[in-house]
Structure 1
Amino acid sequence: MAGDEAGLPEEGLSLWLTDWKIPTGIPWEGRRLVALVGQAVGGHLDVHVHPSGQAVKVWMLEVRSGFQRRGLGSLLMDALYAAYPTAWIDHGARSREGAWWWNGYRDPDPQRNIHNRPPAEWAAYFDAVEVASDKAQNAHQNNRYGLDGHRQDVYRYGERLEQEADGYARFYQPAQAATLDPAAQQLHGAIRLFLPPGLHTYVHDHTQGASGRAAALLEHLGHGNLPRTYWNATRRAAFEDAYHEELFEGAVPGRPATHLVFTLNPPAADRLPAFDALPASVNFVARADIAVEVASLAWRSAGQPAVTHTAAFTPPVTAAIEPRWPQHASAAYRARYDEAGFLLSPDAPQPSAEPAYADRAEEIRAAAERLLAAQAERARPEQPPAAPQPPRRPQQPSSPPAPGRGRNLR
């Protein structure tokens, strides 16, 4: 590691290896290594990993302001080598800042850096022409700023790289990473909520019934407001998405967050909306809403991630992934939900994509009435207590109408 690593605190420093869900056109799994200093993100390293696990391409190394020049970048890169101890490492092309950083970094295993080895050893994993282009850019940066750039380690540094690359480009074997099929398994998606204090206390009270607490969460969010992006193969990955948002978007002072994960039944293959697939998740790209069946909910308090509450819905609950914009909502969505994603009325029709609910009309009607009543109660402004009224004097019985007055009778 770099010598200035002593500037980092020993207490409260941790590393987290998690998913990196950014489509870059590279069909390898995205992984992100996050450095946490106390409760703050100090930096992160984004990479793509070959399906075999034997090749890693560095995409971005970033150290945040306030944590720079303290060895944090070196710590992240060293951890990457340790996480994939037998893999080839492609560091790619470097920016100006990257060139200066690399000049001071001590590579823990130069023999696995493909810029230091002949293409005959790694050409099946990486395009030799692209690698040659990256090496040329790095050489230009080093020459421009008068940097050594570990010249002694770079294989045939400064020679005509294009000739070497042309001879090995044919050995490149593009990998087709397996992608998630959303019609083949349950999907898990996360959202971060900041609940009113009373509701937060209720839903995290394990002494209360889990089913009632799950219904309260779904009612508060709205049945038509399920998240659009990144539905995962596992519940763990969905909770990681929520925790990732907690770290990078920041907590709200005085408002504890609830990380809520929906588990959906697989949609029918013939009704599957358009999606982008990653190795372990999908991102629905259709603009319109998507009718789904919620099989269960799981939730945690951000402050107590080890305590997970779960509740299954038997039978599943009809809900919808929200449309991208209100004008993209389908006719079935508009008939069932308002623009805020809440149920319109107990008589709202079921989406046509969910015919299995036709025999549960009375049950659904009763549940909808309870939800709407609770929603109206939340929306009603608080009124000051009414002043006590004096007791009313008893009324005297009225006299019968005089003959010839009042209604004509025949």
Structure 2
Amino acid sequence: MDFELSAKAREYLSDLNEFMDSHVYPAEPVYDRWRAEAGPDNHDLPPVVEDLKAEARRRGLWNLFLPDVSGLSVSDYAPLAEVTGRSPGLAPQALNCSAPDTGNMEVLHMFGTQRQRERWLDPLLDGRIRSAFAMTEPDVASSDASNISTSITRDGDSYVVNGRKWWISGAADPRCEVFIVMGKSDPEGPAHRQQSMILVPRDTPGLEIVRSLPVFGYQDQEGHCELRFTDVRVPAENLISGEGEGFAIAQARLGPGRIHHCMRALGMAERALDLLVERANNRVAFGTPLAQQGMVQQQIAESRLAIEQARLLVLKTAWLIDNRGTKEARTEISAIKVAVPRVAADVLDRAIQVHGGGGVSDDFPLARMYAQARAMRIFDGPDEVHLRSVARQETRR
């Protein structure tokens, strides 16, 4: 396996690091002040992000996640995703590379009709709108997709959607104009052929955004919402790929997406380690800098070891996807979804500890990052589901 970046990726990486230093990191306090003044219930985009988007487009740092647009392999994009993870609230959006839009754009790119692409994919790629992916439900254990109870029922030239969803990321953002909804179109069919995906515009009658849910008390700008669908009627042409294709589409969506998520999480871990070391070098306790005390030195070393190991596993997974396909990488895709959030949360926890009371405050980005890393052990499938998948592959082999 060769993890050497292509010349194009090296160029992007250099440009991206310069963009982070010159524009993204200085924008963080501006973003935070705007949101604090606007209040937690305001999900508008702070204007500084539009400025970042314009600058990123000017530099050609746009839609890098999509190989057919950027010319980058999954392995090439991985270190770029890691860099954006160092500022998770700003950098992915600035590059038009933030979830759930990335996964939705991949779905429309791979499975959408020409009309669906023109209506939804083009404005998403252009950064003019945002989207959401509606799968998780409050009334069932959504870690098992076969439990999903939202119905997608054919009625003449339309489909009618009924059900409830929650933790739908991005739904509170006023720019979110369309939902990819996963539901059951054939409840009596084979387990993996019961589900379908359909496009539901935000303004469709019967679609209600009930509330935006906080994560450990934090309200993200894009929100994580509970939705209610009551006799929501959309044209039959809004169905993606065909009836019964929902599960297969979901699997195709999650492969590269897990690389993106995991590398961004490692970016958070790297920034946490930077802050840990800086704090340890500059704080003195009992007459000695923290960085010279054995317990803190162990925390620094353990963090470096864990990050390097996790990164190698993600890069191996990206290489497998590039060279052998998502199916051949399925064990590793599950493995990184377990391993990386654990590492990120552990490194962030150590950094918080070294920062003392400052670590649990909003004076540093650690507390919010920790909330994201801990939540990652649940979204896109909880650890237990992925451990089960790894174990099954191991026993079959």
TM interval, short-chain normalised: under 0.3
TM-score (norm 2): 0.23
Q: Which has the larger radius of gyration?
A: 1
TM-score, structure 1 normalization = 0.22
Which structure: greater strand fraction?
1
Structure number with greater CO (CA < 8 Å, separation at least 6) is 2
Q: By percentage of residues, which structure has more helix?
A: 2
